[in-house]
Amino acid sequence: MAEDKFPGWHGTTILAVRRGDEVVVAGDGQVSLGATVIKGTARKVRRLQVGGHHVVAGFAGSTADAFTLLERLEKKLEAAPGQLARACVDLAKDWRMDKYLRNLEAMLIVTDGADLYVITGAGDVLEPEHDVAAIGSGGNYALAAARGLMTTDLGPEDIARRAMAIAADICVYTNGNLTVERISK
């Protein structure tokens, strides 16, 4: 199929909420091809354990590309145990500079419970403001909802679940089948 006629894959919303010593990463399960839902129960949030250190990662974009990036992140974490910021910066450098990696179409949210980052193929390693980060098709909806809910006394998981429900009500590429992982400092 010609690239301009290919309807494109859509259907990911990943949200991370930090409150106190806890970070929750939630991801919906929808994968769509054009106007068709291909799968409603995809698992786009993963827990990694490298050298005794735990990291939670959520991805948006091409699944194969995201898994390639997660494998690279694990290697970076093995080279710099317990140094998430360094591993993320090294991954972003490779992603931007490497001929093969620069064509990967995905974004990542990663956290070790202390730090929270969004990593992009443009070489960005962003630490979000307001303790909330979101990526994917419904990311802006989930981000807005979560930022509004941060003014309440809700815990991070409740904020994430409610914000994802709001995003699923608005974005046709987001559903309510959530994978939720929590991690503490």
- Residues known to be catalytic: 12
Contact present, 64 and 101 (Cβ < 8 Å)? no
147 Cβ contact list (under 8 Å, min separation 6) = 130, 132
Q: How many CB atoms lie within 10 A of CB 105?
A: 12
Q: How many CB atoms lie within 10 A of CB 100?
A: 9
Contact present, 24 and 156 (Cβ < 8 Å)? yes
